[in-house]
Structure 1
Amino acid sequence: MVYLTHSERTPLLLGAQLRHIATSRFGARHWQAIQLFLGMMINYFQRVNISAGIVPMTTPTADAPYYNWDLSQKSLILSSFFWGYVVSQVPAGLLAKRFGAKYVICLATAVGGIMCFFHPMAANGGYINICVLRVLTGLVQGCVYPCFHTLLSKWVPRTERGFLTTGVYSGAQFGTAVILISSGNIFESSMGWPGLFYISGGLGLAWALLFFWQGADEPATSSSISKVEREYIESLTGSNTSSQSLAIPWKDIFTSGAFYGLLAAHCGFTWGFYTLLTEMPTYMSSVLKLDVKSNAVLSSLPYFAMGILCFVVSPISDLLINRGTISVTTARKLFNSIGQWVPMACLIGLGYMTADEKTGAIVLLTLAVGINAACFCGYLVNHMDLSPNFAGPMMGVTNGLAGVTSIIAPLIVGVVLSNEEDPTQWRLVFFITGAIYLLCNLLFVIFGKATVQPWNDPPSMSSTMTLRSNIQTDSRTTAPTPGKENQF
């Protein structure tokens, strides 16, 4: 039998009254989540502004400069972001673990904001210059997911993991939607399309200052958290407070079947999401024959739908898990399947739509992107399920490898499409994306798990961490109930 010291037992022996106080009030973890939500939104402004701006940048207007870039050059511009993005993922995870995610993400967002201001100048110098700037933007943006995952693994109790994590990452969808829907008005303003980059840059700098002031790496370093909430969070995250000094078990990670199931699901989501993100404005303009302003509004609709659905599916997932209706592993696989196989069916139908069926095409596009929200209760939180101590570095690996698909997908679209106005060529694009969804989620269903893996805790800590690891199992996922605490 393993005996814990008083300091180790304290978080687990929180009484029912204290636990009620911690969970019923707006707390530091909620403020942290709101800041991260805003940070995700603004970082997606920096990421998506080129996708929103590529059409007006290459369309002759009287008020703003335009560039005669051909289809292959535009595909190169759209994919170049991910060249830098892929390279920086693992280093970003290591930096977040070593120096603290707060400082890394603040610096990265501020630098990305500064680079936004130089986009119009770079475009004037030719598409190669804009490609170089997008590579550099990708380098700093590669810090976002590893840093956010590192922060969430410290701040989010497992009983709230679906809702709070999904809420934070829904900022990506709301950010995408906001910049797409506002881009039409920005393009028509006196600033023209350069205004899109100036606004993105200014907001990036503002958020970096806010989070540097108000953010914290973990509950223990927060100046505004109560003792009750800190103990509640620390007892239910599974993340060790000294994880910054732990060696990353790379060999165990790369020999884990659960890790490869997670990697497959991440790659499938990324391929589909970024294919639609980068190509949807072109599809709506070329095939559905929508003007720039209508294009901007309708291109944003799927991301608003996805953002809203994030707050629908995540409470359902947490409720099913915390009531013991389904296991954590079953929940992760179920919601990931909904988030990838339903969009697969939508894309198959979309492949047969024409310009005369605008309404049907927009409905299917909205569903294909919106229902992706279920994946946030699937693969996206799975890093923390498998290893709370190393969720950030793991996210760096999976997001980096998945990012390779973000490079390949736009290039394949450029190869497939010799005529942007040909619906049959777009059909092949949608079918390829659907096949990727099918295969990758199938691998997650076969190999995926949602239990803390043995390599989460080094051998020297395994005896003292046995209890906390055992608490997070498929069959029991809620916090200890009153009257049962003393059994531990």
Structure 2
Amino acid sequence: MSSIEKTEEHQNGKNITFANKTRYIVLIIGLCCICSTNGNYNVINFSVICMQDVIEEQSVSNQTHWLENTADVSFIFSAGAVGAIIGLFPSVPLTTKYGVRNILSLYGMTTAISTLLFPMAVSFGYYPVIFVRMAQGFGASIMFSAIGSISEGWSPISEISTYVAFLSAGFQISNIISMPVSGVLCESQLGWRAIFYLFGGFSVLFHLIFFVFFRDSATVHRNVSLKELRKISTGRLPTSSKRQPVPYLAVCKDKVVLSIWAAAIGGNMSLMALMTYGPTYLNKVLGLDVRETGFLNAIPYILATAVKFVAGPLSDSLTFIPEVWRMIFFAAISQLGLAFGFFVMALTSSRVIAQVAYTTAIVLAGINIVGVVKCAQMVCSFSFISSHFPFHSFKVARQHVHFVMAVISLSAWGAIFVLPIIIGIVCPNHTASEWAVFYIAVGIFVIAMNVPFPFFATMEPSEYTKPEWEQKRNQVSPEQRI
């Protein structure tokens, strides 16, 4: 029985179709999961500056507590990235075999439970904190892949920029919520522990809802009407219920994909520097107190979310401009703006100008999702019909975007892992001059890594996404493939 026939059966059963907008319900649930998972991972960035009670309770004469040791705290930050890198490697084959619904739910619950256990780990000591932090990172590792996979199964072609932009807004929204809430809770009678219980609890709830409601494809969801299914399917090839094996070598040799990964490495290194060490920069260099740091660090993410909500629909609506030029434009604005923000922060001595530059960098970084990431969505998924390949030519779509997004995730987690080491070397005393050197270096790095993308960006699906590629490959002997 075909997917459309199954949906028709569901319609005959009078299932709720949410006014033909089920895909938006999925979008909201997916956004909540990404937001809560990212919030779980990042709350330690703020809460670590208000754990004075732990130092007082656990201090031992003639010994420095691990919260007072910069190297120990930096390793805790890095431990999350180590866990994420470990989690990434099984995530691709697991998602291929079991689907995004099962794996995202499993990974999300891992982060949620480890967040709830974090205060207990702190009471036990440094090494339990490292273990729980690695579990947080393990569960958070799939977030980037989830954005690609959810969009792949649910977004109409005409709304793909909107869908990707809104899902990725979870990274900003989580900071909008977590920073000021953490600042208030840290200085309240509830204390820093309440931060972990609050975010961990909501994360458990959201991922349970996701598991119950979500399906990997709109074609098999009981609440998707025929009308909505036609809208989602327009311009797409029919998809198989079973994912095709990822041609890892072919993807890794693709010049377009390599340019995407290079741009992602540059963008992620710079953005993670702001996200991870933003509170430290505001507190140590600009001299803001804890409450000010919480609220002022939320402002860039509020603006970034608003810009994403505009950039996604704007990219979809500018149909009179070729798609590839739209992707290059948004990528250039994003990454050049990010680099410019770093240069200004490095060269200014004005607190106000530094705050404006910091805000601008975070705001513009967010719109790269409809540039580089959208290009990855198109190039590595043949579910979208190319003008050169008619619909009737192929029986099934081939999507490998989850692997490409996993490597983009790896670049982000790799950045989080190495940043504490770099910061420890370049900015040991957190002085303005030390941060200036770091910011200039990062600004140059992000520009250099984004140079190839405009030359290789394309809308055409790669050869290895086409069914005929597998047929040709099967005709070649294993010795010749190697």
1:390-435, CA deviations, whole angstroms, 9 ceiling, x for partnerless residues? Answer: 1112211232244212211222011111212x10001012112211
Aligned to 1:475: none
Letter in 1 for 2:179: L
CA–CA distance in structure 2, aligned partners of residues 276 and 454 of structure 1 = 37
1:445-472, CA deviations, whole angstroms, 9 ceiling, x for partnerless residues? Answer: 2333232112112327889xxxxxxxxx
Q: 2:40 aligns with which of 33, 46, 49?
A: 46
CA–CA distance in structure 1, aligned partners of residues 365 and 98 of structure 2 = 33
Question: What SS does structure 2 have at the residue aligned with 1:244?
Answer: coil
CA–CA distance in structure 1, aligned partners of residues 99 and 54 of structure 2 = 46
User: How far apart are 1:90 and its partner, in Å?
Assistant: 3.7
Q: 1:324 aligns with which of 311, 320, 323?
A: 320
After TM superposition, list the pairs within 5 Å mapping 1:374-389 onto structure 2.
374-388=367-381, 389=399
Letter in 1 for 2:301: Y
Aligned to 1:231: 230
User: How far apart are 1:62 and its partner, in Å?
Assistant: 8.7
Question: What SS does structure 2 have at the residue aligned with 1:118?
Answer: helix
Paired residues of 2:156 and 2:232 also in contact (CA < 8 A): yes
Whether 1:280 aligns to 2:294 is no
Whether 1:264 aligns to 2:259 is no
Q: Judging changes above 3 Å, is the alpha-carbon distance between structure 1 residues 231 and 433 closer, same or farther for their aligned structure 2 residues? A: same
Aligned to 2:26: 32
User: How far apart are 1:381 and its partner, in Å?
Assistant: 2.0
User: How far apart are 1:224 and its partner, in Å?
Assistant: 0.4
1:312-351, CA deviations, whole angstroms, 9 ceiling, x for partnerless residues? Answer: 211221122xx232x2222112111111111111111111
1:73-101, CA deviations, whole angstroms, 9 ceiling, x for partnerless residues? Answer: 22211122111112222421221221111
1:107-159, CA deviations, whole angstroms, 9 ceiling, x for partnerless residues? Answer: 22122111112212222333333222211211121122223321211111221
Q: Judging changes above 3 Å, is the alpha-carbon distance between structure 1 residues 460 and 379 closer, same or farther for their aligned structure 2 residues? A: closer
Paired residues of 1:64 and 1:192 also in contact (CA < 8 A): no
Q: Judging changes above 3 Å, is the alpha-carbon distance between structure 1 residues 208 and 348 closer, same or farther for their aligned structure 2 residues? A: same
Q: 2:332 aligns with which of 337, 341, 360?
A: 337
Q: Judging changes above 3 Å, is the alpha-carbon distance between structure 1 residues 227 and 462 closer, same or farther for their aligned structure 2 residues? A: farther
Whether 1:204 aligns to 2:203 is yes
Whether 1:428 aligns to 2:437 is yes
Question: What SS does structure 2 have at the residue aligned with 1:117?
Answer: helix
Q: Judging changes above 3 Å, is the alpha-carbon distance between structure 1 residues 162 and 25 closer, same or farther for their aligned structure 2 residues? A: farther
CA–CA distance in structure 2, aligned partners of residues 436 and 87 of structure 1 = 26
TM-score, normalising length from structure 1? Answer: 0.84
Q: Judging changes above 3 Å, is the alpha-carbon distance between structure 1 residues 324 and 198 closer, same or farther for their aligned structure 2 residues? A: same
Paired residues of 1:116 and 1:201 also in contact (CA < 8 A): yes
CA–CA distance in structure 1, aligned partners of residues 315 and 161 of structure 2 = 7
Aligned to 1:473: none
* Residues paired across the two proteins, number: 437
Paired residues of 2:255 and 2:456 also in contact (CA < 8 A): yes
CA–CA distance in structure 2, aligned partners of residues 156 and 300 of structure 1 = 29
Letter in 1 for 2:132: L
After TM superposition, list the pairs within 5 Å mapping 1:35-434 onto structure 2.
35-57=29-51, 68-238=67-237, 240-242=238-240, 244-320=242-318, 323-325=319-321, 327-354=322-349, 357-388=350-381, 389-420=399-430, 422-434=431-443
Paired residues of 2:311 and 2:367 also in contact (CA < 8 A): yes
TM-score, normalising length from structure 2? Answer: 0.85
User: How far apart are 1:163 and its partner, in Å?
Assistant: 0.8
Paired residues of 2:331 and 2:370 also in contact (CA < 8 A): yes
User: How far apart are 1:67 and its partner, in Å?
Assistant: 5.8
Instruction: Provide the identity percentage.
Output: 21
1:272-307, CA deviations, whole angstroms, 9 ceiling, x for partnerless residues? Answer: 111111111111111111111011101111111111
Paired residues of 2:109 and 2:139 also in contact (CA < 8 A): no
CA–CA distance in structure 1, aligned partners of residues 268 and 210 of structure 2 = 27
Q: Which structure 1 residue ranges, 5 or more long, are not aligned?
A: 1-6, 12-23, 464-488
Range with bigger deviation, 270-279 or 228-237: 228-237
Aligned to 1:474: none
Cα RMSD after superposing both structures: 2.5
